[in-house]
Structure 1
């Protein structure tokens, strides 16, 4: 009896995940032919609440090469994958990612500690110039487009600073 209920719950969860994956996939299926450009996979994965880094995304595509890239239409190249991924090949891979809760967002307290390291005098903010320097010169650098997007959401135009506590609260995903 309990196994039956558990099975029904799992089936309902998978059905809900499939619906979400399909909706996200369809946004990028511009030809309405159940395919998307492989370069859109990161955006699709992130739109589903996962937060892989570019390195993790590259590894994901490499790991799933047999499932994903093996089913691409012609045009796959080694360094910069091009081609199209079919929905029926993507859905089992993405379902597994979501069920396994891979690429979860960083916890709020970890983000706060990271910002505090960048703010040793504990002002509670970073200037725009400081933020740009850290995001483009340290670790995995942001692209110009990513930097502009972050700045538009994070910087207070009056003070030209980012109050990182407010920014963290705004960007943290509620997983409940």
Structure 2
């Protein structure tokens, strides 16, 4: 007896409903992501040319509230930009960013992670300040001391920085100055553009130029 090829059974209405809903949700999500990419792109394409300089890609990624590591971002840019390429077309960038958004890659940092980062920043700044104050104290002693004290200090310096005991940093306060935040955002890592910096600082909850960074972490995590 010849094997009979069974025709695939059609889905009944109850089976079709979930499939159709899922398909519709996926299409809606894709359209939403495309709108987000377009909205971020036009910020850096005010003349509506459909292309932006390659160096703007990282700012578009951050505008989409994606949080890749520096290595991930550099790898992404290299993967979509050919050698000596100075501009990227919208269509190519959309096609490259869409899967990242759909797959939920490079999610925003959590509130807990942001808070820990701010604590690390304050700890580092406090230790730098403590070390600077200690250096000033040593310098003042050198200037005001006698030859014996200067000789003793010079002997201590010969032992090198590895032998130096750092002055303990003050305890964490939970606060950073707006001035210090501005310095960090413009002088370290990938610097913010002036317009980005102004937009960011407008939303920073501060009082008398001081930021309670737990509130800032909450704000950034829930934007």
- Using the size of structure 1 for normalisation, the TM-score is 0.69
Distance between the aligned counterparts of 2:59 and 2:116, measured in 1? 27
Q: Distance in 1 between matches of 2:43 and 2:181?
A: 32
Structure 2 unpaired stretches of 5+: 1-15, 124-169
- Higher mean C-alpha displacement, 17-26 vs 92-101: 17-26
Greater helix percent: which structure? 2
Stretches (4+) displaced over 6 A: 132-137
The answer to whether 1:123 aligns with 2:165 is no
Cα distance in 2 for partners of 1:171, 1:156 equals 14
- C-alpha displacement at 1:136, in angstroms? 8.4
Which position in structure 1 is the counterpart of 2:99? 96
Q: 1:152 to 1:25 in 2, by over 3 A?
A: closer
**1:141 correspondence with 2:189:** yes
1: distance between equivalents of 2:186 and 2:52? 30
1:110 aligns with 2:113: yes
Residue pairs, 1:1-150, within 5 angstroms: 1=16, 2-62=18-78, 64-65=79-80, 69-70=81-82, 76-77=83-84, 82-117=85-120, 118-119=122-123, 121-127=171-177, 141=189, 143=191, 149=197
**1:148-167 matched pairs, under 5 angstroms:** 149=197, 152=201, 154=204, 156=206, 158=208, 160-167=209-216
* Residues in 2 aligned to 1:23 and 1:131: alpha-carbon distance in whole angstroms: 27
Contact 1:34 1:87 in 2 (8 A): yes
In structure 2, the residue corresponding to 1:36 is in which secondary structure? strand
Quickly say closer, same or farther: Cα 1:110–1:84, change in 2 above 3 A.
Answer: same
TM-score by length of 2: 0.56
Deviation at 1:53, TM superposition (A): 4.0
CA 1:87–1:145 in structure 2 vs 1: closer, same or farther (change >3 Å)?
closer
Between structure 1 and structure 2, the one with the greater Rg is 2
